[in-house]
Structure 1
Amino acid sequence: MYTVFRPELADLAREVLARHRAHQAGAVSPADLEEYQLDRFVATVDYVRKHSAFYRERLAGVDSIAIKALTADALAAVPFTTKDDLRAFGFDLPSLPVSDAWVYYETTGTTGNSTPSPRADVDSINTNIAMTVQYEPLLRGLAGPQVMGVCGPSELHAHGDTFTEVCRNLGLATVKMWPHSPMVGFPRALRVLRELPVTGLFCTPGMAVALAKAAIHAGSDPRRDFRMDVLMLTGETAPPAVLAHIGELWQAEPHLALYGSQESSVLALAAPDGGLRLTPLLNHYEIVDPHTLTPAVADAGGVLHGELVATHLYQGAKPLVRYRTGDLVRLHPDTRIEVLGRVADRLTLNGVETTGHDLENLLLDGVHGYLDHRILIEQRDGCDTVVLALTPESEGASPTGLTASAQAGHAAFGIEVETRVTDVEAMPAAPGPVSWKTPRLLDRRAQRG
């Protein structure tokens, strides 16, 4: 509605929408996309150098006119931006004062001090239209009337504002409620979910599990007593086995809705055919070796494995140039991306490198009949051992598929997999910095070392 009062924003919104519609329809050729990205990359470099105190100094030696292609050689002269830069330079990094933004957010501080993440209208128009176009075939394909629950934080965080606006763009009713808020709480949230009824959730994987557990503890059955059609999950890594499990809990269709962060905004979005896809009209992407910072080399299947680097292609409150996300990813030739976790959180089990994402997926694939889980990594007699702990769906019940899980762990890493059927909430856990992000894996070797 605000565009009615600011015609220039209405014109921008129509332009952005037409661009995304054309890309979705396959009407943008690879050459056209490459040209668009180059033009917008250079525009972002010029914009931040003019408006950001940090980038004015950091990019002083960069000749944007000399950037003729977005190749590794051409970009070598453009310095990376790091999380440490965001923490150290704070309000010197944005390209607009907060008074010129429409809203102010901050990072949650999960990996350090909170950093400013203001949004201008230009930011939200670009990202929310991208989300609306991407979600449209997925959400409008659902049967019957829909009410979407937006169950994430709203204070100083984009979750509530973003997903409610996108749903409104699609003509979907929303209810915004944060179960951890003292104004809401889990009993009230469950009542609202049941009475309306809410048919879809935008939340973290951990929140979807927490709501299901709260419903069961209150004597309800998430499958029988609620009418959930779709789960749009974001904010945490969730490998396919975890995604499928959460869908089973609610008897609903689970999707990874969005990959991004407060500082990077939207980096990838859900696709109707499953998984996350890059958003190349919003960002330029690079995959680099996190040790050498040189371009990652594709494997035999054309898959790139490394740290994701992104540059915003729209010029809003705080565009970032060659931002090292600190996230380890696998990028497939079809632009499908798997987010494997933090670069700093890579694991080695008995000399074999892996990630929490892949370990979790390996151990839980084919396991059914549980509510929640935790994975503990320990060292016993000089060998790495994994404990897979599972909360059963009901007292006296036992999950299935545990033998195959243990065999898979031994085959991949030569590890013993001990399974425990227990209340995982009573077990030691990695400290979670914020309530909506559930730490599901604890490496006790690091604690003892």
Structure 2
Amino acid sequence: MFTQYDPETAALTSELRDQFDAFIAGAWDADELASHQTHKLREVLTYVRAHSPFYRAKLAEFSDAEISALRSDDLSSLPFTAKGDLRTAQLDILSRPVSDAWIFYETTGTTGAATPCPRTNEDTIHNNTVLTAYYRDILAAHGDKQVIGVSGPTELHATGDTFGDVCRNLGHAVAKMWPYSPVIGFDRALEVMRLLPVTGLFCTPGMAMRLAQKASEAGLDPRKDFALDILMLTGELMSPSLLENIGALWGAEARNALYASQEASVLAADTSDGSLRTAPLINLYEVIDPDTRNPVEPDSAGVRYGELVVTNLYTGAKPLIRYRTGDMVRMTDAGPGAAVPAPALAAVGRVRDRLLLNGHLVNGYDLEDLLLRRFRAYQDYQITITRDDLGKDLLSLTLKADPDSQRSGIEQAVEECRDVLDTHVSVGFGNPGPITSTGAMVSWKAARVVDLRTESSAEHTSAEHIAATRA
């Protein structure tokens, strides 16, 4: 493999593998983890001040002595990095020139200027070690003779490379197939899935449902005519209700595999206990109130709910300091029996995607979970919001499904929505169209919600444009 031709990279691979194995086995106590994080934080801060034009200016007021004295719990003294900073700074955010990277990626640029995301060997090894260590037991449960499909974009995007490398580490064959590519298309992707056969699939929730739709249109039964054992889903908002439905559609185990971004890389990954867990060996995490920017305290159940802020703890192409992800999360400390001794994290939607319904501020994760929990075997869905003459907000849920198979859930869905959100929901059946496939490119709200109370947003316009090219 490549690392054997680069002694420094080979040594880093071995070091990280051993560290993660020991950490997962519980060999690191709290003091050892804090010491590791403090050492890495100081190293990264020194590194970005020396090499990144953006951070050289951003951290100019801090002396070398102050940086050397910082601890991992002193993050609040450092300035935030916002998405707007990345768009404005562009290449100045980097701590290494692109020529030092092994590959160049960038964000999609559908809702703003694309931002550069090159990755060095160090970046890739740190992040892929997390996934390799966390996924090992999950995939091993399905045997060692697997062919894993990866249905995600590959041009200037990390999906195919990342999951391909991780599956290679774990000894599984990989077939990279992007159904929206004119070279592949849905028909050929489905043919390859049956031919090999593909036993596992990395894709978005929207792609999993779109493939099920296309299979049904071709006269195939996703449950009977395919050999899928496991779906590793990522890239979009995914509530438990939607996850269970996708598993039922394919007759396979469906898991929420990853929380990550092109900008900040791997932030949390699925573990064998069914929870997304953070990667504290390579990142520091904060949860803040998105309005006040103050740290959020755990509630009575030990859950911190707010916007996630992350600091990378490795010196790659673009370490980020106190990066505001713009995502709302629920974070809970690891308890007894956790597969990995790291906090569990549930990403529940973007800060700006929250919806105000009759006085209730609700995130996308909770709204989706509430509306869909009584339905199964649907192949797509969309939510429409209107307001009546009395100023009352109303919801309409459209399902792509056989109406007769869903009737029993309608009454319960209406009652639960009224009880939780004081909002009436009506349920109808139809085909929302290709706009619902754009969530990973734009946002859950732009792809899944038609809010007739407000003017169309720039994100919704972008989603419509992407959808038109896919129709």
Query: 1:247 corresponds to which letter in structure 2?
Result: G
- Identify the residue that residue 352 of structure 2 maps to in structure 1: 344
- Identify the residue that residue 187 of structure 2 maps to in structure 1: 187
The answer to whether structure 1 residue 120 and structure 2 residue 82 are counterparts is no
Distance in structure 1 (CA, Å) of the matches to 2:64 and 2:299:
32
- Identify the residue that residue 211 of structure 2 maps to in structure 1: 211
Distance in structure 1 (CA, Å) of the matches to 2:412 and 2:448:
21
Q: Deviations over 1:120-145 (max 9, x none)?
A: 00001111111101000100111462
Distance in structure 1 (CA, Å) of the matches to 2:207 and 2:20:
31
Report the secondary structure of 1:272's partner residue: coil
- Identify the residue that residue 290 of structure 1 maps to in structure 2: 290
Distance in structure 2 (CA, Å) of the matches to 1:76 and 1:397:
53
Identify if the C-alpha distance between structure 1 residues 397 and 141 changes in structure 2 by more than 3 Å, giving closer, same or farther.
closer
Would the aligned equivalents of 1:213 and 1:371 in 2 still touch at CA under 8 Å? yes
Report the secondary structure of 1:439's partner residue: helix
Q: What CA RMSD, in Å, does the superposition of the two structures yield over aligned residues?
A: 1.9
- Identify the residue that residue 98 of structure 1 maps to in structure 2: 98
1:7-22 correspondence to structure 2 within 5 Å: 7-22=7-22
Would the aligned equivalents of 1:391 and 1:422 in 2 still touch at CA under 8 Å? yes
- Identify the residue that residue 33 of structure 1 maps to in structure 2: 33
Identify if the C-alpha distance between structure 1 residues 248 and 106 changes in structure 2 by more than 3 Å, giving closer, same or farther.
same
**How far apart are 1:413 and its partner, in Å?**
1.2
**How far apart are 1:27 and its partner, in Å?**
0.6
Would the aligned equivalents of 1:307 and 1:325 in 2 still touch at CA under 8 Å? yes
- Identify the residue that residue 463 of structure 2 maps to in structure 1: none
Q: Deviations over 1:96-128 (max 9, x none)?
A: 101000000000124411100000000011111
Report the secondary structure of 2:32's partner residue: helix
Q: Which moved more, 1:210-219 or 1:436-445?
A: 436-445
Would the aligned equivalents of 1:207 and 1:436 in 2 still touch at CA under 8 Å? no
Distance in structure 1 (CA, Å) of the matches to 2:314 and 2:329:
23
Distance in structure 2 (CA, Å) of the matches to 1:430 and 1:256:
18
Distance in structure 2 (CA, Å) of the matches to 1:448 and 1:98:
37
**TM-score, normalisation: structure 2:** 0.91
1:70-89 correspondence to structure 2 within 5 Å: 70-71=72-73, 74-89=74-89
Identify if the C-alpha distance between structure 1 residues 436 and 341 changes in structure 2 by more than 3 Å, giving closer, same or farther.
closer
Distance in structure 2 (CA, Å) of the matches to 1:133 and 1:144:
16
Query: 2:441 corresponds to which letter in structure 1?
Result: V
Distance in structure 2 (CA, Å) of the matches to 1:405 and 1:159:
35
Report the secondary structure of 1:329's partner residue: strand
- Identify the residue that residue 441 of structure 2 maps to in structure 1: 434
Distance in structure 2 (CA, Å) of the matches to 1:322 and 1:433:
24
1:403-422 correspondence to structure 2 within 5 Å: 403-422=411-430
The answer to whether structure 1 residue 178 and structure 2 residue 187 are counterparts is no
Query: 1:70 corresponds to which letter in structure 2?
Result: S
1:291-440 correspondence to structure 2 within 5 Å: 291-334=291-334, 335-381=343-389, 382-392=391-401, 394=402, 397-398=405-406, 400-425=408-433, 434=441, 439-440=447-448
Identify if the C-alpha distance between structure 1 residues 64 and 289 changes in structure 2 by more than 3 Å, giving closer, same or farther.
farther
Count of aligned pairs between the two proteins: 445
Distance in structure 2 (CA, Å) of the matches to 1:144 and 1:267:
27
- Identify the residue that residue 447 of structure 1 maps to in structure 2: 455
**How far apart are 1:33 and its partner, in Å?**
0.6
Query: 1:425 corresponds to which letter in structure 2?
Result: G
Distance in structure 2 (CA, Å) of the matches to 1:370 and 1:182:
27
Q: Which runs of 5+ in 2 are unaligned?
A: 335-342, 458-471
Distance in structure 1 (CA, Å) of the matches to 2:443 and 2:47:
35
Identify if the C-alpha distance between structure 1 residues 199 and 113 changes in structure 2 by more than 3 Å, giving closer, same or farther.
same
The answer to whether structure 1 residue 225 and structure 2 residue 234 are counterparts is no
Distance in structure 2 (CA, Å) of the matches to 1:431 and 1:86:
23
Identify if the C-alpha distance between structure 1 residues 291 and 225 changes in structure 2 by more than 3 Å, giving closer, same or farther.
same
Q: Deviations over 1:5-49 (max 9, x none)?
A: 111111111001101101110111111111111111111111000
- Identify the residue that residue 337 of structure 2 maps to in structure 1: none
1:155-170 correspondence to structure 2 within 5 Å: 155-170=155-170
Distance in structure 1 (CA, Å) of the matches to 2:155 and 2:195:
26
Would the aligned equivalents of 1:204 and 1:236 in 2 still touch at CA under 8 Å? yes
Would the aligned equivalents of 1:45 and 1:64 in 2 still touch at CA under 8 Å? no
Distance in structure 1 (CA, Å) of the matches to 2:437 and 2:123:
34
Identify if the C-alpha distance between structure 1 residues 279 and 358 changes in structure 2 by more than 3 Å, giving closer, same or farther.
same
Identify if the C-alpha distance between structure 1 residues 311 and 182 changes in structure 2 by more than 3 Å, giving closer, same or farther.
same
Q: Which runs of 5+ in 1 are unaligned?
A: none
Distance in structure 2 (CA, Å) of the matches to 1:255 and 1:431:
20
Would the aligned equivalents of 2:206 and 2:437 in 1 still touch at CA under 8 Å? no
Distance in structure 2 (CA, Å) of the matches to 1:70 and 1:322:
12
Distance in structure 2 (CA, Å) of the matches to 1:271 and 1:204:
18
Report the secondary structure of 1:424's partner residue: coil
Identify if the C-alpha distance between structure 1 residues 224 and 430 changes in structure 2 by more than 3 Å, giving closer, same or farther.
closer
Distance in structure 1 (CA, Å) of the matches to 2:50 and 2:204:
37
**TM-score, normalisation: structure 1:** 0.95
Identify if the C-alpha distance between structure 1 residues 33 and 448 changes in structure 2 by more than 3 Å, giving closer, same or farther.
closer
Distance in structure 1 (CA, Å) of the matches to 2:317 and 2:79:
20
